[in-house]
């Protein structure tokens, strides 16, 4: 029955009521693409232009193709191979990232509609899964961490916090929809470990994630086996568990290959002098301390809404999907806090990106649980009203931060 309600909600997004076709996604794509063009033309300090110029240099043979090549290949294809032209690079990069943001929005909307429909319980007719999924998808598109500058003069608006969105790193933006699909599909697999088609889908999504950017897969391989161990015990035992570890084993092999290509052979560095000089080491909080003057505060202002949900509704901590999202978030934080690159790449913060992805997933699942309570009780109970304020704190931070990049000329 829950699956039927979820399917009905997704069909409602596609065909029903006011949510027809892909109009919201089209608006998001166009608006996002225009924003990325503005970042490029205003010479805002981001990773967007360097990543695009890396494609040009790789085509010219000045640098090797990156190990995680899928984003760069997509930029090259959309530029029709005209990588010598900055206009074509600007067009292809902005279009690709606009499409990635719209894809993230679309996947989020459908995951939320499905989760809200499965929640069951009494509903208020004007708070349908279709409407709430759209509202929350828009909120999640804009949400950011509350800026450290409100509390510490030496803090940054973005840097040092764990926001659910970034607008300056093109490969992370491109990764988001693939990571969300892997999260959703892996959760479905945990509910039915015997699903062979689902297992193949996870394997494909793992490969795509690694080829875009392996960040989310780091957290996935740390958490998914623990949850699958319990799920397999309910159905099929050890044999079922081993079968479901095929994507994890594939991910491990791909990560080892990536490590060799990036750190031993330097597939991905723009500086020939850096070849063979970097690696990975255990350096607790070394990178995070360089970005944040107060790490506990940085974490607190990044988690106002998700933390408020479990504080105000302690029973939510036992909800399966939310617990899975929290576990991924915790794993992503541990990776960021404990590991660092050595040598010239030390300050690049490349073990940070999985925390952004997992933060978004945590916010999304928190919205799903909050939405279920809204459908049951309405928005005027003091707990639900408090959660609205907490979510709005993140949304308002995003409404200030996103245009501020154009004014300040930097993402920091």
Q: What is the 3-state secondary structure (H, E, C) of 352-367?
A: CHHHHHHHHHHHHHHH
Say what the pLDDT of residue 355 is.
Answer: 97
Say what the pLDDT of residue 17 is.
Answer: 42
Say what the pLDDT of residue 176 is.
Answer: 98
Nearest Cα residue to 89 out of 69, 45, 125, 59:
59
Say what the pLDDT of residue 274 is.
Answer: 57
CA 37 – CA 60 distance, rounded (Å): 24
Torsion, Cα of 240, 241, 247, 253 (10° steps): -130
CA 266 – CA 276 distance, rounded (Å): 6
Helix ranges restricted to H, 303-352: 304-312, 320-338
Whole-structure pTM over 0.75, yes or no? yes
Say what the pLDDT of residue 152 is.
Answer: 85
Task: Identify whether the C-beta of residue 169 lies closer than 8 Å to the C-beta of residue 50.
Answer: no
Rounded mean pLDDT for each run of 10 residues along the chain, 412 residues in total = 51 48 92 97 93 91 87 95 92 97 97 89 70 95 94 87 96 98 97 95 97 96 96 84 96 92 71 64 91 94 97 92 97 95 80 96 97 89 95 97 95 88
C-alpha distances in Å from residue 174, one per residue of 19, 72, 180, 209, 284? 25, 10, 11, 10, 29
> For residue 246, with 0-12 CB atoms within 10 Å meaning exposed, 13-18 middle and 19 or more buried, which class applies?
middle
Say what the pLDDT of residue 15 is.
Answer: 43
Say what the pLDDT of residue 234 is.
Answer: 82
């Amino acid at each position: 029955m829950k699956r039927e309600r979820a399917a009905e909600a997704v069909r409602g997004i596609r065909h029903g009521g006011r949510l027809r076709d892909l109009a919201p996604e089209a608006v998001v794509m166009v608006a996002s693409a225009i924003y990325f063009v503005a970042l490029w033309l205003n010479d805002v300090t981001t990773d967007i232009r360097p990543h695009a110029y890396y494609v040009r240099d790789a085509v010219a043979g000045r640098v090797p193709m990156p190990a995680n090549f899928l984003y760069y290949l997509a930029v090259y294809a959309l530029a029709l191979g005209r990588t010598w032209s900055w206009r074509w690079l600007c067009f292809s990069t902005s279009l690709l990232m606009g499409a990635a943001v719209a894809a993230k929005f679309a996947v989020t909307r459908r995951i939320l509609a499905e989760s809200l429909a499965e929640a069951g319980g009494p509903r208020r007719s004007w708070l349908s899964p279709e409407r709430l999924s759209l509202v929350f998808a828009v909120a999640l598109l804009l949400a950011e961490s509350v800026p450290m500058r409100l509390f510490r003069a030496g803090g940054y608006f973005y840097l040092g916090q764990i926001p659910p969105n970034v607008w300056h790193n093109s490969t992370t933006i491109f990764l988001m929809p693939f990571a969300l699909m892997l999260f959703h599909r892996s959760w479905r697999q945990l509910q039915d470990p015997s699903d062979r088609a689902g297992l193949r889908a996870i394997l494909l999504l793992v490969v795509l994630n690694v080829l875009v950017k392996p960040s989310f897969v780091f957290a996935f391989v740390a958490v998914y086996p623990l949850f699958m161990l319990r799920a397999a015990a309910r159905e099929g035992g050890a044999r079922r568990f081993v079968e479901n570890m095929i994507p994890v084993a594939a991910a491990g092999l791909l990560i080892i290959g990536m490590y060799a290509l990036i750190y031993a052979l330097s597939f991905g560095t723009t500086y020939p002098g850096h070849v063979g000089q970097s690696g990975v080491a255990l350096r607790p909080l070394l990178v995070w301390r360089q970005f944040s003057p107060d790490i506990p505060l940085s974490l607190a202002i990044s988690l106002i809404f998700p933390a408020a949900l479990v504080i105000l509704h302690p029973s939510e901590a036992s909800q399966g999907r939310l617990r899975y999202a929290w576990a991924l978030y915790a794993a992503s934080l541990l990776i960021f806090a404990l590991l660092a690159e050595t040598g010239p790449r030390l300050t690049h913060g490349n073990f940070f990106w999985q925390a952004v992805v997992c933060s978004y997933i945590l916010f999304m699942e928190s919205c799903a649980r909050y939405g279920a309570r809204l459908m049951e009780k309405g928005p005027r109970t003091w707990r639900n009203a408090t959660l609205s304020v907490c979510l709005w704190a993140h949304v308002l931070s995003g409404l200030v931060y996103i245009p501020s990049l154009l004014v300040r000329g930097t993402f920091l």
